[in-house]
Chains A and B, each alone.
Chain A
Amino acid sequence: MPSEAFLRTFSERVSSEPGAPALVQGDVLLTYGELAELAAAARAVVTGLGLPDGAAVCVPAAKSPAVIALVIGCLQAGRRVFLPSPDLGAEVLAELCERIGCAYLLEPGRPPRPTGAGPGPEWTGPGLLLATSGSTGLPKTVVLSESGVDGFLAWAADRFDIGPGTTVLNHAPLNFDLCLLDIWTTLHAGGRVVLVEQDKAANGTYLRDVCTRHPVDVVQAVPMFYRLLADANDAAGAAAFTGVKHVIFTGDAMPLNLLGRVPGLFPAARLWNVYGCTETNDTFLHEVDVAEAVARGALPIGRPIDGVTARIVDRSGAVVPHAGSGELEVDSPFRAHGYLDPELTARKWRDGFYRTGDLVTRDEHGLVFLAGRDDFHVKVRGVRTNLQEVEQVIQQHEDVAEAVVLAVPDEVAGHRLRAVVRRRPGSSLDSIRLRVHCAARLPKTAVPTAVEFVDRELPRTSTGKVDRRALNTTGERNRVVD
């Protein structure tokens, strides 16, 4: 997908091994030859649009072999592809298409749909644009870089032994940077990807069936996946997945009680904890020793991947030289160019180092541990979610006087969102209508699971900010809903 080098390798593979399996989803299997045919058809459609040089196109990332072929076709046509979540609300999607300059939205089997967007920046060469959560109510557009992607594809294939004949499970949605490993590295390396159907990604029985039907060599997924799979396997009294060689934890902190169940699921696998984000791709790697992690009471993110430079910066802005705590900043060969918005890029990158917002501790052996995030970022079902962004969207509703969104720890989801909302007098806004409002403007993971309406003003701290801590501790008792 993501680069000229990828496209070259892909065509070579199509010529040399057209019958090799490329993508599997349900009963659909596409060989490299078939994938290339679909991509060629998509390329013809895109070329036929007669877009100006350097114009981007939008492909909603509803994961399927046909959509992956469409993305490849767009890239072969030399286009920059904006790959947003298929759940993104219509208003937000229109705004992002306008900023990026996507005049057309493409979906398999449908004629290209004009978006009404005017011309945007002039992009050079094929590549991907991803969206990640922001604090303004609008997702941030991340511009992937060709060298960053090429470097990552080579590293990942080597590290996790991905090559012709390798099967890799893809659990993440297609718009996630995680797919650079499980989908795009695998296709680049000539392997086979087993695609989890997105609307069944939280169904443990289904996940177990997929892994049983299509023996996989490599699994990368968020902790929720491993919990669902372990529960389903226990419930069925099913056998372990003995063929899996590499198991990668990513996206969220892996709970130790869950970690202890993993060797029983994948007895022959090497286990890895990977840390990264859309802006930098993977930057830390740790090979997991389960007994050691349990004894230590914490699972480290480990050490920087070769070529990555990391530093820890304390509250005063000074670099912590050895052991110590602070915010993690990383400079990575796999990094994205930055955001579409140059001001935002300047704020988040400091002389080449990306400010992750993650608080970490480094021990005397150089091992790094996550210590938490700043107050406003949490993971919901493995998706980084900015609480302020959700608050902004709720406050845009005309019936809302003030609102705060809290993250409640949850064993399966990581966190659930709880919104506490004071309505304007006389309003009959209810939790369903508020969630419909949110769902039109936010990814589904950012729609609060619980909404509580209060009649009194929200508690404030002495500096006038909403007192999140007070709400966190008293909220459950003050439920107004039932």
Chain B
Amino acid sequence: MSTEVEIKSFIVRNFAPDVPPDQLEPDLNLLDSGVVDSLGLLRLIAWVGERFDIAVEEADISPDNFRSVDAIAAFVADARRNSEVAR
């Protein structure tokens, strides 16, 4: 499963279970649309950290990184690149 598909699956499973994952627009603003609320955002951040093995120092993360499927996928890709550089 690609990162994007996996992110979509998590979001619909948790926040919109009636919607098939492939129908979730990758650029939909999840926060402005009310699909993910402020408490949901914390769950989403925690899941991304755990699933993709990224140290999400909560206080440093901008909600902007989680505004859409595209943004989350970019955040994950960035974090992976950075960890490879670090090695």
Contact = CB atoms under 8 A, between A and B. Distances in A.
Contacts of A349: none
A207 to B, nearest CB: 9
B35 A203 contact: no
Contacts of B18: 430-431, 451, 453, 480-482
A202 B16 contact: no
Contact of B63 (A200, A444, A480): A200
Interface of B: 16-19, 23-24, 28, 32-35, 37-42, 58-59, 62-63
B16 A431 contact: yes
A438 B19 CA distance: 17
Interface string A262-282: 000000000000000000000
B35 A435 contact: yes
A448 B35 CA distance: 9
20 contacts: A199-B38, A202-B39, A381-B38, A381-B39, A412-B39, A430-B23, A431-B19, A432-B24, A432-B35, A435-B34, A436-B28, A436-B35, A439-B32, A439-B34, A444-B38, A445-B37, A447-B34, A449-B37, A480-B18, A481-B18
B54 to A, nearest CB: 16
Given A439-B34, A451-B16, 16 more contacts: A201-B38, A202-B38, A381-B39, A430-B18, A431-B18, A432-B16, A432-B24, A432-B28, A432-B35, A436-B34, A444-B34, A444-B37, A449-B37, A449-B40, A480-B18, A482-B17
Given A430-B19, A432-B19, A203 B59 contact: yes
Interface string A189-204: 0000000000111110
Interface residues of A, number: 29
A482 B39 CA distance: 21
A438 B62 CA distance: 25
Contacts of A345: none
B37 to A, nearest CB: 6
A412 B23 CA distance: 30
B59 to A, nearest CB: 5
- Mostly, the B contact residues are loop
A439 B33 contact: yes
A87 B34 CA distance: 10
A205 interface: yes
A209 interface: yes
Contact of A430 (B16, B33, B39, B59): B16
A447 B34 CA distance: 6
B19 to A, nearest CB: 5
Nearest to A480: B18
Per CB-CB distance, the 5 closest pairs between chain A and chain B, nearest first, are A447-B34, A202-B38, A439-B34, A205-B58, A481-B18
A123 interface: no
A206 interface: yes
Contacts of A432: 16, 19, 24, 28, 33, 35
B33 A435 contact: yes
Nearest to B38: A202
Nearest to B30: A432
Interface in A415-443: 430-432, 435-436, 438-439
B75 to A, nearest CB: 16
A205 B19 contact: no
Interface string A123-155: 000000000000000000000000000000000
A315 B45 CA distance: 48
Contacts of A451: 16, 18
Contacts of B16: 430-432, 435, 451
B1 to A, nearest CB: 20
A183 interface: no
Contacts of B32: 87, 439
Contact of B58 (A203, A430, A449, A482): A203
Nearest to B13: A482
A480 B32 CA distance: 25
